[in-house]
Amino acid sequence: MLRLADVSKTFFAGTPNERRALRHVDLRLAKGDFVTVIGSNGAGKSTLLNVIAGSLPVDCGTVQIAGRNVVKVPDYKRASMIGRVFQDPAAGTAPHLTIEQNLAVAESRGKRRGLGKGVTRARRHRYEHDLQTLELGLESRMRHRVGLLSGGQRQALSLLMASFTGPDLLLLDEHTAALDPQRAELVLGITERVVRDSGLTALMVTHNMDQALRMGNRLLMMHEGEIVFQLDEAAKKDATVTDLLAMFGQVKGQLTDRTLLG
Amino acid sequence: MANTLELGMLYALLALGVFLTYRILNFADLTVDGSFTTGAGTAALLITNGMHPLIGTAAGFVAGSLGGLATGLLHTKLHIDPLLASILTMIALWSVNLRIMGKANLSLLNQPTVFTPLAERGLVSTWWSVGILAALAIAAKLVIDAFLATNFGLAVQSTGDNPAMASSLGISTDTTKIVTLMLANGLVGLSGALIAQLQGFADIQMGVGLILVGLASVIVGNAILGTRFMFLASLGVIVGSATYRLVIFFALRWDVLSPQDMKLISATLVVIALVISQSKGIRAFFARISPWRRSDTVPEPLLAVPSTGEEEA
């Protein structure tokens, strides 16, 4: 479903501030894979998602989604294949539009936006049903502006907007990091259900190792722009947070040695 | 008084254009000062050359929208800041307008205009013509309301509200911006074409400072009727345009002020309206006296968790 080959991205190339955010990254996701991505700050996790979504151009390498090379496709055109939820709850929704208008904007993803009515009765009916699955009572507030919702409610709505059209790929960029633990759990539960029920292929960045182990069927760790190790389904099942920390320490040690020796 | 409100209804078309860019698209578009005269000049040129006034008026809309297109292209394709892009177009249009008109002032004296049928019946500057022009402004407002409720219109609103979200949902924000700028400046050009016909001339100076008139109408109108519902927000623009004209009308009756103080009055009015729309106390006052705005202040039920993001403006 997703295939990255030899993807590199450097910021401020040729200046003293040069930062190599991605170094020759190779990654393959099969259909239905739900991969969690961990790594320290500046490891390149968000850059990876931005490169896949097309918000950032790659320096070299190829990005294939559903068998199509999309390196030259601008972000708004890739959007027909990709659903995204951002870390900031305000980023994924339009605050001055109502809940139903936001959903209508999301539903037109990948379609021609013409002069047909945005929120039709049929759509409203369907949204009511979709919102019920979130179990937040939003279905009774469809004509309220999204700016009035709490962060957790907005993230749940963003998640619905990103996923309910069945995109080829769902990108989650620390989408629970700005929420309190209780709300984060709620949104994670919805995430799990949505991904499972719609059979989506997903890539979820998180800082929370426990989350990373609990969710999805594969895990990968990034460090200084490289994927330093991966766990497949079997290995991930038995792994603990302590294991992850140990592995991270080991990798970090190796890298430091290499940097010193190199 | 009727004459004042007549002008108010015609400038309401310009204000609706400013509403589209300033409020909906969140784009500070100063093209208005140029595209208004472009509309007026184009209409005057065609009418003096024997074209039907309705064709001249429609051409005013098209000519104005081309000004919007220029600003849109400068901003989206050449990545020039909105304010600067529109200032560049505005300044360039000054020369274009002189080319169109051929001279600084084009008279429509003894020419047929869209107001000729009204004039023949002696209805110009009466409440009849105010009513007819109000109907025109409301028709334009209803078209805008309907446009903003379409799939494309919702994409336009998302572009203004959250551009990053818009492109992540597959909206080409370049397209939405260009189309909205064209529509907005088309309305401005239409307004110019009609006002030239009402006054009986097009003048190179007639657009100077009109962005302030548009902003004043939008801000005053939205302070009165609120922005909770699109229907009331765009209606407020028309009310704001009428209010603005009345304020000028009464201000000029005061002996101390003369017509040359118009621009100063405009700017002062915008400042007052901006302060009013920011002040919580005054907003609460408006909420109390306005039956429609009450819904704004009703606390949201079931909202125990405070919102982390941007609050309602």
Q: Do A150 and B308 touch (CB under 8 A)?
A: yes
Nearest to B172 by CA among A72, A86, A112: A112
- A154 contacts in B (CB within 8 Å)? 307, 309
Residue of chain B minimizing CA distance to A104: B151
Closest Cα partner for A9 from A27, A25, A21?
A: A21
How far apart CA B63 and CA B189 sit, in angstroms, is 7
3-state secondary structure chain A: CEEEEEEEEEECCCCCCCEEEEEEEEEEECCCCEEEEECCCCCCHHHHHHHHHCCCCCCEEEEEECCEECCCCCHHHHCCCEEEECCCCCCCCCCCCEHHHHHHHHHCCCCCCCCCECCCHHHHHHHHHHHHCCCCCHHHHCCCEHHHCCHHHHHHHHHHHHHCCCCCEEEEECCCCCCCHHHHHHHHHHHHHHHHHHCCCEEEECCCHHHHHHCCCEEEEEECCEEEEEECHHHHHHCCHHHHHHHHHHHHHHHHHHHHHC
pLDDT-based confidence at residue B304 (cuts at 50, 70, 90): very low
| B60-115 pLDDT tens trace | 999 999 999 999 999 999 999 999 999 999 999 999 999 999 999 999 999 999 99
Helices (H), B49-120: 53-76, 82-101, 116-120
Distance CA B195, CA A54 (A): 47
Q: For residues A175 and A158, give the distance between their C-alpha atoms in angstroms, rounded to a whole number.
A: 10
Cross-chain residue pair B308–A108, CB shorter than 8 Å: no
Has residue B287 got a pLDDT over 70? no
Confidence of residue A257 (pLDDT cuts 50, 70, 90): low
The residue in chain A having the minimum alpha-carbon distance to the alpha carbon of residue B146 is: A117
Q: Are A221 and A21 in contact (CB under 8 A)?
A: no
Q: Which of residues 91-150 of B touch A (CB under 8 A)?
A: 147, 149-150
Min distance A24 CA to chain B CA atoms (Å): 26
Residues 161-200 of B with CB under 8 A from A: 161-162, 164-173
Mark yes or no for CB contact B307/A94 under 8 Å: no
What's the predicted TM-score (pTM) here? 0.87
Weakest-pLDDT range from A57-61, B150-154, B174-178, B295-299: B295-299
Q: How confident is the model at residue A183 (pLDDT cuts 50, 70, 90)?
A: confident
Give bridge partners of residue A82 from the DSSP assignment. A169
What's the pLDDT tens digit per position in B166-182?
999 999 999 999 999 99
Q: Mapping DSSP to helix (H, G, I), strand (E, B) and coil, where does residue B129 land?
A: helix
The lowest-confidence range among A85-94, B122-131, B277-286 is B277-286
The residue of chain A with its CA nearest to that of B148 is: A118
Q: How far is B272 from chain A (nearest CA, A)?
A: 25
Domains in chain B: boundaries: 2-208
Please compute Rg for chain A using Cα positions: 19
Which of B151, B158, B172 is the best mutation test for A, with the most CBs of A within 10 A?
B151
Give the best-scoring range by mean pLDDT among A117-121, A191-195, B61-65, B117-121.
B61-65
Q: Residues B47-62: what's their mean pLDDT?
A: 97
B147 interaction partners in chain A (CB closer than 8 Å): 115
> Is the distance from CB of A127 to CB of B163 less than 8 angstroms?
no
pLDDT at B71: 98
Compute φ and ψ for A230, nearest 5 degrees: -130, 145
**B122 φ, ψ (degrees, to nearest 5):** 70, 30
Q: Please list every residue in chain B whose beta carbon sits closer than 8 Å to the beta carbon of residue A173.
A: none
Q: State the pLDDT at residue B281.
A: 67
**Which tokens hold the place of B246?**
């009345």
Q: What is the pLDDT of residue B192?
A: 98
Average pLDDT along chain A: 89
Measured between CA atoms, how close is B300 to chain A, in angstroms?
Answer: 8
Q: Find all residues with CB under 8 Å of B100, minimum gap 6, and list them.
A: B38, B41, B42, B45, B63
Mention every residue, 6+ apart, whose C-beta is less than 8 A from residue A86. A92, A158, A173, A175, B164, B168
Which tens digit of pLDDT belongs to each residue from B239-280?
999 999 999 888 888 888 888 888 888 888 888 888 877 776
pLDDT score at B289: 62
Q: Which of B307, B310, B311 is best to mutate for the A interface (most A CBs within 10 A)?
A: B307
Amino acid at A215: M
One-character DSSP codes across B211-276: HHHHHHHHHHHHHHH-SSSHHHHHHHHHHHHHHHHHHHHHHHHSTT--GGGHHHHHHHHHHHHHHH
Answer for the pair A106, A164: CB distance below 8 angstroms, yes or no.
yes
Report chain B residues whose CB lies below 8 A from the CB of A145.
312
Of B157, B172, B311, the CB nearest to A97: B157
What are A116-159's pLDDT values in tens digits?
Answer: 999 999 999 999 999 998 888 999 999 999 999 998 899 999 99
State the SS3 of B4-64.
Answer: HHHHHHHHHHHHHHHHHHHHHCCCCCCCHHHHHHHHHHHHHHHHHCCCCHHHHHHHHHHHH
Contact between residue A131 and residue B164 where contact means Cβ atoms under 8 Å apart: no
Task: Find residue B108's DSSP bridge partners.
Answer: none
Residue A77, SS3? Answer: helix
Q: Which residue type is seen at B310?
A: E
Interface touch B300/A150, C-beta < 8 Å: no
